Structure 1
Amino acid sequence: MGDAREISRPNGTHALSSTEKPVLLFMTFNASGHTAGAAQIAKHLHFNRGYKDVYFITGPQFQSLIESTGAKYIKNPFEPITPKAHDGAPESAEFLAAMKTVFADAIVPSYHVLKKALEDIRAAHPEPRKIIFVHEALSQGLLPYNYGCPLPKGYTSLPKSLNWHTSIWVGSDPDYPPFGPGLPYDPTPENKALWKSIHAGSRAMWQDVIDYYDAKLQEIGATKKFDDSVLDVAMNVGDVTVMATTPSLDYPSATKNPKKFRLVGGLPVRELDGNLAYPAWWGELTSNSALPISDPARKKVVFVTQGTVHRAYHELLVPTIRAMAGREDVLVIATLGERNEPSPLPEEDTPGNVRIVDYFPYEAVLPHADVFVSNAGYGGFMHGVMNGVPMVLAGKIADKGEVCLRAARAGVAVVYPKSEVTQEEIRTGIETVLTEDKYRKRVKEIQEENIKADSLGQIEAIIEELVRAD
């Protein structure tokens, strides 16, 4: 257990006493990348910092995870329908479809479950006990209240809220490349004019999604029309928006309003579950890692994942396996991102230097890896950073192309900002990272920067700030 004694803060205040600590209510969208980080925060605050009354709303597949944090689990029954990766639609069309069937469709059930949770928590913890709401930016919990939907019984206003954003900056800003096209950050006058034009023109592309959001809000009693940028709203709901990154990993514009937007650094590497079941080949990996770097018998370890959502293995995972096939000096570890997922390659077609596991925590493999190959999901990217492992990233859909550009700008990865890559491209990327030490040195520097940022300490300080704001 951690130490929950009172500590001094940089602004001269002190940590809240046990009697001053608020009730914490977390709410996340029902998906691993949106829930895992918030669960880590809840666990730290409960077990290490003395926050005894913690509640957590999310999907039923995360109930055991949430209960392990010490929080009281509250079920959100909404099950998102995720479009299949590359179902024939262009990536932009697939992304916009997901904004409706994944996120907009979450609005109504999320509103109802949050409203009841707030009423029940207030009944269990009467005023003057304060409640702080930790809202994951795409969970849709706060959205209805911004558009006039009825407040929970017993409330004249919502509790103060920390808006937890699990990706890069996605808001619109004239000094910033627009989200989506994958334009590099190069703020020349000509590029700024282009960015402004794209920002203005994107309204038509988003209009169907905006109208769909509005219809969902009207269904639950909104008094104000939803006619805003969906991504701007996600970034701006709540009192303070927190991102798990540092300035080195995003563009300068992301820090323009430091009171509203806080870059707190990546969450620390999670401890492994003591009951984790290891694959049969695990000893081979750890024995290899125990060899000195200079030992010619020590193999380079390439860890590859297609992520947990867009698992189109032909795009990245299979090309990586085939690119490294026959390399006696390389061991490839591939994780499929879903429990009980069958291998995309028949056993007889799987190279002898490849080990495949259906689902396994990144933090278990990364300490043994020399290169991390990923489809540039933000959670996986930050796992690479926090473990100090240089990367090869390839992805385009959703935020993945934008993550690629930030990783390249930071100097921690060779990137291919597209969904499908060739064996030759992956082979070249891996060889570049293995032979050019600048990638390893740079990711170690940024790892240290993020560790020193003390994300969990900063998040607690923001919660204390919100408690004192009234």
Structure 2
Amino acid sequence: MTPSSKAPAKKPLLFFTSFAGQGHTNPMLAIAASMVQRGYEVAYLCSAAFEDRIKNAGAEFFEIAWEHQFMSPEETANLASMEVGPRRLAMHIVYVFFKGLPMRAKAVAETLEKLRNRDPDRQIICLEDNLNMCTMPFRYGRPLPAGFDKPPKTIGISPVPLMIQSQDTGPFLLGLPPDSTESGRMRNRALNQLVNEGPMRPLIEAWEDALKACGCTVAPTGNPMTALFTAYDASFMLCSPSLEYPVSDLPGTVQFAGCLPRGKVSSTYEYPVWWPEVTANARGSTGSKKIIFVSQGTVNMDWDELVLPTLQAFAGRDDVLVIATLGFYGAKLDGAADVPANARVVDYLPYDAMLPLAHVFVSNAGYGAFRHAVMGGVATVFAGETEEKLEVAMRGEWAGFALNLKTQTPSPEKLRDGVTRVLNDEGYTTRADELRRENEALDCLSRIEKQIKRFTE
């Protein structure tokens, strides 16, 4: 056979894995589905809860046992008793991510062995959400899976804001704006040292213990928050640089892919009977009402925090239509009989259907909601403090498309004032649309594929 008549080489097999939570797996599934459409074969390791969606995306499903990954009641209570800040974040990562890492890493190694045995000569490239960390142990000397003489190339996808320790920013979750002045860098250096030696110390120790339990032979150095982004051959932020604080010491492995594109609403989704009210008053229409859309995401079910106060804030207003989604099918709002006449509540409403039509989005600042708001081009009011939400809200305000209420539990009055301020200032909507166009131009999925091609042997 002449060189010109050789059969084309197979594309690498893409091995995806993600932590089995909506905020971690949803973006990875979108990427996996796109790669399938681009002609790649995809194998995906995740919990059984995502089996149908993974198969529907065109990927081969591999199951990981998940019953031992949940926090115990004692851990949940301990976490809830802590004040929002670095110590609570540290213990959240310990309980949720590091505790189960040895089991997850073992499942990844076993799945890689199966894939290699099935096609010994085919290159495998790993993509995972970087908080899953299952390929990280290979960086620290964990024995390679059978059939591998070198670690597979790895690509980390971040479902969270940039959490590295930098000379230009304070420690994550202290809620400090960036400061790259000489005095600011002195502040940042001192605070990072204090945090590492204090509230973050349990996280560093848990990181060391988890890697040791994974069979690693090289002791980690530095900070685990930074390692989340540097333990991969390439790491992608799912946003544009304008949505992150600028840092002069950004690791060379970290790239900005842009936000994922808006998804298509499923053809099987049944819109609520009142949906014509939304389209008649949508942003850009000649309708007489402003649409306020409120959501607490897919995890927080304490409707008193944000959903109910938002409904109360605009009760009786003829010029406002409030739309609330509870985040998942079957969710119910206690006291539904008290829903104001100008409000509509639904268990599940896709962001990609609603956000481009809303005038203002009210959110508790999950990072998925943040990215969806950008791609919906919608001015936003954030009210969130737990997990990464404090930092997400700050980034939304810093980028100019959102107002940060700086609380997890705003009163109806505070919400009314905040939403009114955003409605009356066209700068928020203008900036939201600028960021939407900026992120669309980056073409997130093509950027990730280009990295795959660079790693292809």
Instruction: State the TM-score, normalizing by the size of structure 1.
Output: 0.89
Of 145, 149, 155, the residue aligned with 1:156 is: 149
Query: Does the 8 Å CA contact 1:243/1:263 hold for their aligned counterparts?
Result: yes
Report the CA distance between 1:308 and its aligned residue.
Answer: 1.9
Tell me the distance in 1 between the aligned counterparts of 2:248 and 2:307.
32
Secondary structure of the structure 2 residue equivalent to 1:87: helix
Deviations 1:69-111 (CA, angstroms, capped at 9, x unpaired): 1000111222443547983331234433321221012302211
Deviations 1:240-291 (CA, angstroms, capped at 9, x unpaired): 111111111112217844x41110111100011111132332233233339x
Secondary structure of the structure 2 residue equivalent to 1:327: coil
Letter in 1 for 2:291: V
Deviations 1:30-87 (CA, angstroms, capped at 9, x unpaired): 111111111111111112x111x21111222111111111000111222443547983
CA, structure 1 residues 85+270, in 2 after alignment: closer, same or farther (shift >3 Å)? farther
Letter in 1 for 2:277: E
Secondary structure of the structure 2 residue equivalent to 1:233: helix
Residue 409 (structure 1) aligned with residue 403 (structure 2): no
Residue 269 (structure 1) aligned with residue 262 (structure 2): yes
Tell me the distance in 1 between the aligned counterparts of 2:300 and 2:97.
16
Alignment of 1:10-409 (within 5 A): 19-47=9-37, 49-51=38-40, 53-79=41-67, 80-81=69-70, 83=76, 87-92=80-85, 93-127=87-121, 129-203=122-196, 204-226=198-220, 228-253=222-247, 256-257=250-251, 259-289=252-282, 293-295=285-287, 298-343=288-333, 345-409=334-398
Report the CA distance between 1:347 and its aligned residue.
Answer: 2.0
CA, structure 1 residues 189+313, in 2 after alignment: closer, same or farther (shift >3 Å)? farther
Query: Does the 8 Å CA contact 2:171/2:195 hold for their aligned counterparts?
Result: no
Report the CA distance between 1:151 and its aligned residue.
Answer: 1.5
Report the CA distance between 1:238 and its aligned residue.
Answer: 1.1
Deviations 1:172-193 (CA, angstroms, capped at 9, x unpaired): 1112232110101233332222
Query: Does the 8 Å CA contact 1:106/1:139 hold for their aligned counterparts?
Result: no
Secondary structure of the structure 2 residue equivalent to 1:252: coil
Query: Does the 8 Å CA contact 1:85/1:310 hold for their aligned counterparts?
Result: no
Letter in 2 for 1:430: V
Tell me the distance in 2 between the aligned counterparts of 1:366 and 1:411.
17
Secondary structure of the structure 2 residue equivalent to 1:314: coil
Match of 2:3 in 1: none
Report the CA distance between 1:316 and its aligned residue.
Answer: 2.0
Tell me the distance in 1 between the aligned counterparts of 2:48 and 2:191.
39
Letter in 1 for 2:98: A
Secondary structure of the structure 2 residue equivalent to 1:194: helix
CA, structure 1 residues 254+358, in 2 after alignment: closer, same or farther (shift >3 Å)? farther
- The two structures, once aligned, show a CA RMSD in angstroms of 2.1
Query: Does the 8 Å CA contact 2:168/2:248 hold for their aligned counterparts?
Result: no
Secondary structure of the structure 1 residue equivalent to 2:355: helix
CA, structure 1 residues 186+216, in 2 after alignment: closer, same or farther (shift >3 Å)? closer
Query: What are the ranges of 5 or more consecutive residues in structure 2 without an aligned counterpart?
Result: 1-6
Deviations 1:179-218 (CA, angstroms, capped at 9, x unpaired): 1101012333322221111100111212222223333333
Tell me the distance in 1 between the aligned counterparts of 2:312 and 2:27.
33
Letter in 1 for 2:359: D
Report the CA distance between 1:309 and its aligned residue.
Answer: 2.5
CA, structure 1 residues 293+338, in 2 after alignment: closer, same or farther (shift >3 Å)? closer
Match of 1:418 in 2: 407
Tell me the distance in 2 between the aligned counterparts of 1:254 and 1:57.
35
Query: Does the 8 Å CA contact 1:214/1:225 hold for their aligned counterparts?
Result: yes
CA, structure 1 residues 115+275, in 2 after alignment: closer, same or farther (shift >3 Å)? same
Letter in 2 for 1:317: V
Tell me the distance in 2 between the aligned counterparts of 1:410 and 1:112.
40
Letter in 2 for 1:342: K
Query: What are the ranges of 5 or more consecutive residues in structure 1 without an aligned counterpart?
Result: 1-16
Tell me the distance in 2 between the aligned counterparts of 1:174 and 1:187.
7
Match of 2:4 in 1: none
